[in-house]
């Protein structure tokens, strides 16, 4: 005769070494029946145990997300360990820049909802990339945001590489990645004289993100006026919509100094 469900209790107890049960109380969840094991010890609250397993699984998924997203972010090795905490402030203007970037991260859900972009513009070696990559890392680590970092040169190079059979990627896949991320940091804008192809590609990215209401951080050594020439008025107009936050980096180069 097949064993019924009611017969499984004693069978499972023997299998797992259960020798008895006793009343117990959890300060959080109240009364429960604790299990006594042949090997010694008494089981704890089953609800607490379940909550602990759920939390461990959540942490595992968060760790997996952070690992995968840091790979996808493609932050250059020189900047992978940079953070807001390691940005050295020695002037009021640097403090303003740091505060602005930290505020953008702290309130990213609001900025994302409003499609608000940020412009980090100014002299070379002043920490623009440091703060931009720090924002990407903080969003990934603290808010589980899909944030990525690219230079204009890397974007164009990756897309041109798809025209070769050796690439393994498609231009459409790259564009989906650039347009679909919650935040895109685009660095070295205007660093070189751009071709019509580059300008058209940048417009497709910026316009695609604009249409979907997704924000960007634009990093450039150019002035606001020069940015119009480098990106085109249509692109800059889209970036500046919805209260774009502009930060000027006008102090002298800090390269070679601690924190940069």
Q: Could you tell me the CATH number of the domain that includes residue 195? A: 3.40.50.300
| 49 in any annotated domain | no
Percent of the chain with pLDDT over 70: 88
**Least trusted range by pLDDT, from 41-50, 93-102, 238-247:** 41-50
Helix, strand, coil percentages (3-state) for the chain, rounded to 5, are 50, 15, 35
The residue range of the domain holding 20 is: 5-44
Supply the DSSP symbol for 219. Answer: E
Q: What is the pTM (predicted TM-score) of this model?
A: 0.77
* Whether 28 and 79 share a structural domain: no
Q: Does 119 lie in the same domain as 38? A: no
Same domain for 90 and 160, yes or no, is yes
pLDDT per residue as tens digits for the range 144-187: 999 999 999 999 999 998 887 666 789 999 999 999 999 999 99
Residue 260 lies in a domain: no
Q: Is the pLDDT of residue 254 over 90?
A: no
Q: Please tell me the distance from the alpha carbon of residue 198 to that of residue 186, in angstroms, as a whole number.
A: 13
Whether 138 and 171 share a structural domain: yes
Same domain flag for 23 and 110: no
Give the SS3 label for residue 50.
helix
Structural domain includes residue 56? no
Residue whose token pair is 């303003």: 96
17 and 133 part of one domain: no
- pLDDT tens across 53-79, in order? 878 777 788 888 788 989 999 999 999
Query: Would 52 be classed as within a structural domain?
Result: no
Whether 112 is in a domain gets the answer yes
Q: Are residues 154 and 215 in the same domain?
A: yes
Looking at residue 38, the DSSP 8-state letter turns out to be T
**Same domain for 224 and 116:** yes
Residue 26, domain member (yes or no) = yes
**Within this chain, do residues 34 and 85 fall inside the same structural domain, yes or no?**
no
pLDDT on residue 177: 94
79 and 192 part of one domain: yes
Has residue 39 been placed in a domain?
yes
Q: Are residues 183 and 227 in the same domain?
A: yes
- Which residue blocks in the chain are alpha helix, DSSP H? 8-15, 46-73, 92-106, 108-114, 128-143, 152-161, 171-180, 196-211, 224-231, 233-240
Residue 192 lies in a domain: yes
Q: How many domains does the chain have?
A: 2
Residues 89 and 177 in one domain: yes
């Amino acid at each position: 005769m097949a064993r019924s469900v009611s017969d499984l209790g004693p069978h499972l107890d023997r299998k797992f070494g259960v020798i008895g049960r006793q009343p117990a109380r959890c300060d959080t969840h109240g009364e429960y029946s604790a299990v006594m094991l042949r090997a010694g010890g008494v089981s704890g609250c089953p609800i607490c145990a379940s909550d602990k397993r759920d939390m461990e699984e959540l942490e595992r998924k968060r760790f997996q997300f952070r690992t995968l997203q840091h790979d996808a972010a493609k932050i250059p090795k020189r900047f992978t360990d940079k953070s807001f905490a390691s940005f050295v402030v020695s002037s009021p203007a640097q403090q303003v820049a740091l505060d602005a970037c930290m505020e953008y991260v702290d309130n990213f859900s609001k900025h994302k909802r409003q499609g608000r972009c940020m412009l980090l513009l100014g002299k070379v070696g002043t920490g623009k990339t440091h703060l931009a990559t720090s924002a990407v890392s903080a969003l990934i680590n603290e808010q589980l945001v899909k944030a990525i970092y690219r230079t204009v040169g890397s974007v164009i190079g990756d897309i041109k590489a798809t025209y070769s059979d050796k690439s393994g990627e498609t231009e459409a896949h790259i564009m989906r990645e650039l347009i679909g991320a919650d935040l895109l940091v685009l660095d070295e804008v205007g660093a070189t004289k751009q071709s019509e192809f580059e300008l058209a590609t940048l417009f497709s990215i910026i316009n695609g993100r604009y249409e979907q209401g997704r924000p960007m951080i634009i990093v450039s050594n150019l002035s606001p006026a020069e940015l119009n020439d480098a990106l085109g008025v249509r692109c800059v107009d889209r970036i500046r919509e919805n209260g774009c936050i502009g930060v000027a980096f006008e102090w002298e180069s800090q390269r070679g100094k601690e924190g940069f």
